[in-house]
Structure 1
Amino acid sequence: MIRVMLADDEAMIRAGVRSILVTDAGIEVVAEAADGREAVELTRAHRPDIAMLDIRMPRLDGLSAAAELRVAMPEVAVVMLTTFDEDDYVARALEEGVRGFLLKASDPRELIMGVRAVAGGAAYLSPRIARKVIAQLGGGRLSRAGTARRRVESLTAREREVLALVGRGMSNQDIGRELFLSEGTVKSHVSAILLRLGLNNRVQAAIVAYEAGLVIGDA
């Protein structure tokens, strides 16, 4: 069972997201918070697998809450709920170890897929968010050594295949099934990719995969 703590200052958003998540018998919403401070407190109390945080909340915003959770409970994966006009927050969120970005207006299937991907150890970046943040991150840390395409050329063919599947939000286990590799081998490939490209986490790797054209996002 995937246990989720959901935080958003709008009750209707919380109700809508919760109603979507609980349609999956393998997901349970164990607590709901109306602000960032309450989100941190409830995460400490319930120790869910995933803390799903709105970016803009009173008392403590989602990014600050994510920073606190990274230090206090690094085992809890943080997923951010965002809207198109909040994409400039993604760079900051990456620094706080956020594992996923989902649009509030996402297709219900995407919300569930994202939660399941992150719970399985993968990163998940909504394709529509990925396409918008690439331009914003293009001149930052993810492209200091050159363009994404040139950087990806340094990878082996197998590593590029793995990177493309990371970009699709797949876990190591799912990638292993797709490429007929053991989970341990996939983990080794992912570690090598992060090291070679100078990345800190799978979300950054997913963005590079999109930027390099390894993943085709939706419109």
Structure 2
Amino acid sequence: MTLTPTRTDVLIADDNPVVRAGLSALLATAGDLRVVAQARDGREALHLTRVHAPDVILLDVRMPGVDGISALPHLVCLAPVLMLTYSQEADQIREALLLGAGGYLIHGEFTADELVRAVRDARDGRAHFTPTAATAVLAELRSSSQTQPSVAQSTERVHNSVVFGLSSREVEIMDLIASGMNNQQIAGACFISEKTVKNHINRIFAKLQSTSRSEAIARWLGTARPGVTGRG
């Protein structure tokens, strides 16, 4: 008796209709995969995920309105998420994985068969990366192993991260701000663009309820109490 393979329902979130159509066609080559919904941004992806309850979500990073990174923490609570994007920045890959993505595929680096396998892997809880993403992850692991902080520093960083709700990358950038680095220097130290640095700083200021670098540093170093807004 031949067992029928379990069907896997997939939701595709990408603002480009051509990309969505191409992915749907590729997934249609596998009899056990079915695209149940297509979303144009993160907000629509969250709504359609609640409606259709897909087994796997394919999520782009850059979309107008609510982007993939912003939607990711909410989507991973509902289904496994596989990033599928043109975005190759190591910082974006790192943040997506920290926020719960189950893999990271970059367009142009996979075949139809590899995409199908990656979707099945995501469904079964196995990570899947295309070469550029895998290289970025490996570089991050090597960098982390060479710059291990002391126990006291680690405890303080974890405490600050929990109190203010900062991601590990935001903690890193806030430490660099506190050391006196400007945006250009931070970009060089973190191997990211100045635009990405500015985006991180905007999120950091919002979480620290600060309007200036000096105020953010004061809160971060404990000389101002969280929840008390000052002027800087």
**TM-score bracket relative to the smaller structure:** 0.5 to 0.7
For normalisation by structure 2, the TM-score amounts to 0.56
- Residue 89 of structure 2 aligns to a residue whose secondary structure is helix
Hey, what does 2:56 align to over in structure 1?
Answer: 50
Which structure 2 residues correspond to residues 8-87 of structure 1 after superposition, within 5 A? 8-71=14-77, 73=78, 76-83=79-86, 85-87=88-90
Map of 1:108 onto structure 2: 112
Q: Kindly tell me: are residues 38 and 135 of structure 1, through their superposed partners in 2, closer, same or farther at Cα, counting changes over 3 Å? A: same
RMSD after superposition? 2.0
Give the deviation of 1:108 after TM superposition: 1.4
Secondary structure (helix, strand or coil) at the match of 2:47 reads: helix
Compared with structure 1, are the counterparts of its residues 2 and 139 closer, same or farther at alpha carbon in structure 2 (3 Å cutoff)?
Answer: same
Write the distance in 1 (CA, Å) between the matches of 2:10 and 2:67.
18
Give the equivalent residue in structure 1 for 2:138. Answer: 134
Larger RCO (CA within 8 A; separation ≥ 6): 1
Give the share of equivalent positions with the same residue, in percent.
Answer: 39
Question: Contact 2:60 / 2:84 at 8 angstroms: preserved in 1?
Answer: yes
User: Is residue 122 of structure 2 the alignment partner of residue 122 of structure 1?
Assistant: no
> TM-score w.r.t. structure 1 length?
0.60
CA deviation after TM superposition for structure 1 residue 145, in Å: 5.3
CA distance in 2, matches of 1:84, 1:56: 8
> Moved runs in structure 1, 4+ residues, more than 2 A?
82-88, 132-140, 142-146
Distance in 1 of aligned mates of 2:138 and 2:34: 33
Q: Size of the alignment, in residue pairs?
A: 142
Q: Deviations over 1:77-98 (max 9, x none)?
A: 0000122533320111122111
Partners of 1:84 and 1:129 within 8 A in 2: no
Match of 1:88 among 79, 88, 91: 91
Aligned amino acid, residue 70 of structure 2: S
2:88 alignment partner AA: D
